[in-house]
Amino acid sequence: MLATATFVLACIAAFLALGYFGAPILLWTLAAAAGLAYLTFSPIAWGVFIVFAAVLNIPLLRRLAITDHILAVYRRILPDMSQTEKEAIDAGTVWWDADLFSGRPDWNKLLAVPAPRLSAEEQAFLDGPVEELCAMCNDWEITHERQDLPPQVWQYIKDKGFLGMIIPKKYGGLGFSALAHSAVVMKLSTRSSAAAISVMVPNSLGPAELLLHYGTDEQKDHYLPRLAKGQEIPCFALTSPEAGSDAASIPDYGIVCRGTWQGKEVLGMRVTWDKRYITLGPVATLLGLAFRLYDPQHLLGEKEDLGITCALVPTSTPGVNIGRRHMPLNAVFQNGPNHGRDVFMPLDWIIGGKDYAGKGWMMLMGCLAAGRAISLPTSSVGGAKALVRFTGAYARVRAQFKTPIGKLEGVEEALGRMAAHCYMMDATRIMTAGAVDLGEKPAVISAIAKYHMTERARLCVNDAMDIHGGKGICLGPNNWVGRGYQVTPVAITVEGANILTRTLIIFGQGAIRAHPFVLREMRAAKEMSGAEASREFDDAITSHIGHVLTNGVRAWVHGVSSSRLGQVPRDCAPETRHYYRFTSRLSAAFAFLADMSMLAMGGALKRKEKISGRLGDVLSMLYLVSATLKHYEDQGRMKEDLPLIRWGVRDALYHAQMAIDQVLSNFPVKALATFLRWTIFPLGMSFRPPLDARNRECAQIALTPGAARERLSGGMYVPKGDDATGRLEAAFTAAIACEAIDEKLRKAVKKGKIVPQPGADIGLLAKEQNLISADEYAQWQKKEALRKSVIKVDDFPQDFGRAELAQETETRLVKAA
Ligand SMILES: Cc1cc2nc3c(=O)[nH]c(=O)nc-3n(C[C@H](O)[C@H](O)[C@H](O)COP(=O)(O)OP(=O)(O)OC[C@H]3O[C@@H](n4cnc5c(N)ncnc54)[C@H](O)[C@@H]3O)c2cc1C
């Protein structure tokens, strides 16, 4: 009996050890042989065993007996992919997402990636022209009075090269790193969304980026210097009324034909399009246009439907209609429709020339990741930084119930949450921009960054609005939150609307691209044949099975050992060591669950967007946690920032756990779900939401002047002038400097030494009774004046000043005439 129990225990231990360390098939075979030798020397049993062992260990036999049959079935069930789907899947690169998908992230590799740094020239640009541009922007004037950037701001943007940050120096551009590009957009976003978006768009997916990758030398030499110097204002027009998220279905078309161009007969195309939502479109001089090109007369070759094509069209071309504007939630960056009917253009307007006719989708997908990794994640971080800094200041200046509202627990909860989200967002921004600078075009990671940074910005702005109360609602020059609240859905919607990004792209693309074996299996099935396909598929599928087994065992072992065996980097701060272990555990659980979901649902998983979205959430949380832990190391383990890391990481791990729980609760195969739950959560769900005490510490960082607050809002434009946010900064400093005086006044009132009459100046009363000095009174008065200015909200005449504005305009026109 004891011997049997020992044997069973030894078998379990061997299974766990082999599985945990991902042992090769040969080791499994030897272990099985040892077990069999213990049980029997029966020739029949050994005969069967040897046949099995030979089949499993000899690739040729394994292929003939097993994996070729799986390949045949796999080929039948694998859904066909359209060319556009294939190009989307193939686009970009994989990076840290592949480690998270492996179930065994190599933390040493991540921490060895050098901390991204700005060059001296980039820093000087931020401290000079960017600072200056921010100071030139008055958001109320831009968003309400002018509904555009003032002409001098436009000119400054062009003159200083803001529109050519990604264009190399040899073409006259600034040739900035992704990190610098991100830092510029972030700083501008803390001052004016219109300025930030106007700068962001030409540096994201559009004419410059496409020209750099695919343009002919002639196109590059002509356009890039003009784009760099702002002599051309570019836009990129893909979206049509009928094709938004499903952009590959654009109905806009071009027909290859002969025509006359500048007096000569040339081969060209007649293009008809109707686009909407195009940023910078109303003022663009150069229209990047996507349409489907057809060649019915076979002037270019055999194919009739050449596919999506991208061309550069000067907007001065007869038949190009631009100029009308949309009004995207009062964010007044230039945005509008444009259209043209049968506009003739030469074939060499196609980006890359006629050889690139029909390759537009591949070009767009290939260039999408870099821009998506920077633009919207970065502007969202900018928004969050400004919100945390201003809301913290306001919560310290604004008092109710004789207490600064930031010290009331309910407000503290929202503020602490904002601060922790902001830290994690900045960490993600920097790590992601750093990856782009390493040459990555991180397809899945850019989708994660886009979705989660914009969503966290939305959480931050909702909290900020709540904390500001009526002050955030009444628009005017004294409201620094309302416009941010209005503009948030723009970031949510563009460059892949968020619902689609979460439910279709993050896991959908990740499961194929970042998974170590799925793409290999698919390529073997669809793109290879004969022995080559058989060999490749056999290798991929056997490795894949081992990978599933290893991750299942690891998930369970980590579960029963409370993550004690989870991988950690060689050198990390002791105070964050356990977070690496937890993340390693969830990475193994995620990798196992992802494979089991694909096994259980196959191609249908693509349509099960609720499941796919939650799997994407797990992957995303692991990425965000990785970025946060790396940022802590890269910044030199700043102990004061620890509450932000603790809150953020714990919150993200908890959300990852709950997303797994939701996948399991909704798993279509119930028996398998039970098995998975038992494997992943053998001792139940152990991750808990962040503690209130951590939340309080995070709020304190936002409420207290000091290095941690400066780091948290680092890189934003800190207003110095006499505008609303400048006065808020001054009021914040004054409120803190006056705390001792306020305390004296409070005690004096409490002890009845001064009896404030309605409307009385209690500071003056205290000074008259020598309870505070004359200097203290002066300081207190100044603070009170600033406080009153900060809590002020704007009001307007009945017609919101329209009559006055019309009068002013008329006077100006008369003067001009
Ligand atoms: C202010 C602004 C600026 C823009 N700038 C540009 C620009 O410069 N150039 C350009 O070409 N385009 C631009 N766009 C277009 C933008 O990219 C599209 O708005 C976006 O792709 C979504 O398309 P849609 O608005 O038509 O929404 P729809 O496609 O109608 O989508 C509606 C909802 O359905 C969801 N959805 C759609 N398909 C799926 C799916 N398969 N699974 C789950 N959910 C799905 C979406 O997530 C969204 O929530 C801009 C848009 C705006 C509002």
* d(C-alpha 194, C-alpha 483), whole Å: 11
Q: What is the pLDDT of residue 676?
A: 98
Indicate which residue's Cα is closest to atom 24 of ligand 1: 244
Quickly list DSSP for 592-647: HHHHHHHHHHGGGGGT-HHHHHHHHHHHHHHHHHHHHHHHHHHTT--GGGHHHHHH
pLDDT beyond 80 at 1:
no
Closest residue by CA, ligand 1 atom 50: 277
> Residue range 654-678: average pLDDT?
98
The SS3 call for residue 274 is strand
Rounded alpha-carbon distances, angstroms, from residue 213 to 83, 95, 333: 21, 21, 27
Pocket test for ligand 1, best of 245, 246, 310 (most atoms within 8 A of CB): 245
Q: Whose CA is nearest to atom 12 of ligand 1?
A: 239
Q: How far is the CA of 238 from the centre of ligand 1 (A)?
A: 11
246 CA: nearest ligand 1 atom:
29
Does the CB atom of residue 244 touch ligand 1 within 6 A? yes
Please tell me the distance between residue 503's alpha carbon and the centre of ligand 1 in angstroms.
14
CB atoms within 10 A of CB 38: 11
Could you say which DSSP state residue 290 is in?
A: E
Q: Which protein residue has the closest C-alpha to ligand 1 atom 26?
A: 244
* Distance from residue 441's CA to the centre of ligand 1 (Å): 22
Residues 328-361 pLDDT 10s: 999 999 999 999 999 999 999 999 999 999 999 9
Confidence of residue 756 (pLDDT cuts 50, 70, 90): confident
Question: Distance of alpha carbon 354 from its chain centroid, rounded?
Answer: 35
Judge if the beta carbon of residue 193 lies within 6 A of ligand 1: no
Answer yes or no: is the C-beta of 329 below 6 A from any ligand 1 atom: no
Eight-class DSSP state of 690: P
- Mutation test residue for ligand 1: of 200, 332, 494, 507, the one with most atoms within 8 Å of CB: 494
Whether 803 has a pLDDT exceeding 90, the answer reads no
Q: Cβ(363)–Cβ(91) under 8 Å?
A: no
CA of 804 relative to ligand 1 center, distance in Å: 39
Is the pLDDT reported for residue 377 higher than 90?
yes
**Structure confidence at residue 722 (pLDDT):** 85
Spatial contact of 640 and 683, defined as CB atoms under 8 Å apart: no
Tokens 């009004």: give the residue: 327
Instruction: Please provide the average confidence, as pLDDT, over all residues in the chain.
Output: 96
Q: Does residue 807 carry a pLDDT above 90?
A: no
Nearest CA to ligand 1 atom 49: 499
Is 486 close to ligand 1, i.e. is its CB under 6 Å away?
Answer: no
Q: Is the pLDDT of residue 702 over 90?
A: yes
The candidate with the shortest Cα–Cα distance to 179, out of 124, 123, 117, is 117
For the Cβ of 503 lying below 6 angstroms from any atom of ligand 1, the answer is yes
Give the type of residue at 774: A
pLDDT at 670 (0 to 100):
96
**C-alpha 500 to ligand 1 mean position (Å):** 9
Which ligand 1 atom minimizes the distance to the CA of 237?
11
331 Cβ contact partners less than 8 Å away, ≥ 6 residues apart:
143, 193, 194, 197, 483, 486, 487, 490
Q: How many CB atoms lie within 10 A of CB 536?
A: 18
Residue 225 main-chain phi, psi, to 5 deg: -65, -35
Q: 391: Cβ below 6 Å to ligand 1?
A: no
User: Quick one: DSSP state of residue 278?
Assistant: E
Instruction: Please give the Cα distance from 171 to 625 (Å, whole number).
Output: 39
Q: Which of 346, 94, 372, 359 is nearest to 214 (CA)?
A: 359
Cβ–ligand 1 distance for 238 under 6 Å, the answer yes
Closest CA to ligand 1's atom 7: 278
Distance 239 CA to ligand 1 centre (A): 8
644/427 Cα distance (integer angstroms): 11
Query: What is the pLDDT, as a whole number, of residue 720?
Result: 84
85 in contact with ligand 1, CB cutoff 6 A: no
Q: What are phi and psi for residue 313, nearest 5 degrees?
A: -120, 115
pLDDT at 809 over 90: no
Distance 497 CA to ligand 1 centre (A): 5
258 beta partners: 267
Q: What is the pTM of this model?
A: 0.96
CA 481 to centroid of ligand 1, rounded, Å: 25
Ligand 1 centroid from CA 793, angstroms:
35
Mean pLDDT of 760-788: 96
Confidence of residue 88 (pLDDT cuts 50, 70, 90): confident
Residue partners of 73: CB distance under 8 A and separation at least 6 = none
**Token pair recorded at residue 716:** 């934003």
Q: Residue 817 contacts by C-beta under 8 Å, 6 or more apart in sequence? A: none
Reading the block at residue 285, the tokens are: 């001089």
pLDDT at 642 (0 to 100): 98
> Is the minimum distance from the CB of 499 to ligand 1 under 6 angstroms?
yes
Angle at CA of residue 280, ends 176 and 346, nearest 5°: 90
Tell me how far the alpha carbon of residue 12 lies from the centroid of ligand 1, in angstroms. Answer: 52
- Distance, in Å, from the CA atom of 99 to the CA atom of 625, rounded to the nearest integer, reads 13
Distance of CA 494 from the midpoint of ligand 1 (Å): 6
Give the nearest ligand 1 atom to 496 CA.
21
Rounded CA-CA distance 588/577 in Å is: 17
Q: Whose C-alpha lies nearest to ligand 1, atom 36?
A: 500
Task: Pick the residue whose CA is nearest to atom 23 on ligand 1.
Answer: 244
- d(Cα 531, Cα 528) in Å, to the nearest integer? 9
- In the prediction, which pLDDT does 215 show? 98
Residue 198 near ligand 1, beta carbon < 6 Å:
no
Look at residue 94 and give its three-state secondary structure. coil
Checking if the pLDDT of 387 tops 80, the result is yes
Residue nearest atom 11 of ligand 1, based on CA coordinates: 238
Tell me the C-alpha distance between 116 and 437, whole Å.
8
C-alpha 696/C-alpha 665 separation (Å) is: 33
Distance 243 CA to ligand 1 centre (A): 8
The answer, yes or no, to whether any atom of ligand 1 lies below 6 A from the CB of 245, is: yes
pLDDT at 550: 97
The finding on whether 494 has its CB within 6 A of some atom of ligand 1 is: yes
Q: How confident is the model at residue 46 (pLDDT cuts 50, 70, 90)?
A: very high
Confidence band (pLDDT; 50, 70, 90) for 370? Answer: confident
Residue 414 Cβ < 6 Å to ligand 1: no
CA of residue 290 to ligand 1 center, whole Å: 16
The pLDDT tens digits of the residues spanning 11-38 come to 999 999 999 999 999 999 999 999 999 9
**534 Cβ below 6 A of ligand 1:** no
Q: Phi first, then psi: what are they for 228, rounded to 5°?
A: -65, -35
Mutating to test ligand 1, I would choose from 500, 505, 606 the residue with most ligand atoms within 8 A of its C-beta, which is 500
What is the structure's pLDDT at 606? 86
Task: Give the mutation target among 493, 495, 498, 503 for probing the ligand 1 site: most ligand atoms within 8 A of CB.
Answer: 493
Cα dist. 547→100, 232, 482, 555, 779 in Å? 13, 52, 50, 12, 68
90: pLDDT confidence band, cut at 50, 70 and 90? confident
pLDDT digits (tens, 9 = 90+) for 515-553: 999 999 999 999 999 999 999 999 999 999 999 999 999
pLDDT tens, residue by residue, 206-251: 999 999 999 999 999 999 999 999 999 999 999 999 999 999 999 9
pLDDT per position as a tens digit, 554-579:
999 999 999 999 999 999 999 999 99
Q: Pick the residue whose CA is nearest to atom 52 on ligand 1.
A: 277
pLDDT band at 86 (very low <50, low <70, confident <90, very high): confident
Separation of 246 CA from ligand 1 center, angstroms? 8
Which residue, judged by its Cα, is nearest atom 41 of ligand 1? 500
pLDDT of the residue at 78: 87
Atom of ligand 1 nearest to the CA of 290: 11
| Residue from 389, 403, 277 nearest 706 by CA | 389
780 in ligand 1 pocket by Cβ < 6 Å?
no
Query: Average pLDDT in the 142-151 region?
Result: 95
236 Cβ closer than 6 Å to some ligand 1 atom = yes
Catalytic residue among 495, 521, 536, 697, which? Answer: 495
Any idea which residue has 């509202």 for tokens?
Answer: 405
Contact 504 CB / ligand 1 (< 6 Å): yes
- The rounded distance, in Å, linking the Cα atoms of 35 and 32 is 5
725 Cβ below 6 A of ligand 1: no
CB of 584 closer than 6 angstroms to any ligand 1 atom: no
Spacing, Cα 280 to ligand 1 middle (Å): 17
Q: Say if residue 388's pLDDT is above 90.
A: yes
Token readout for 472 is 């955030």
The size of the chain, in residues, is 817
Ligand 1 contacts CB of residue 243 (under 6 A): no
- Assess whether 232 carries a catalytic annotation: no
**Cβ 290 under 6 angstroms from ligand 1:** no
Is the pLDDT at 812 greater than 80? The verdict is: no
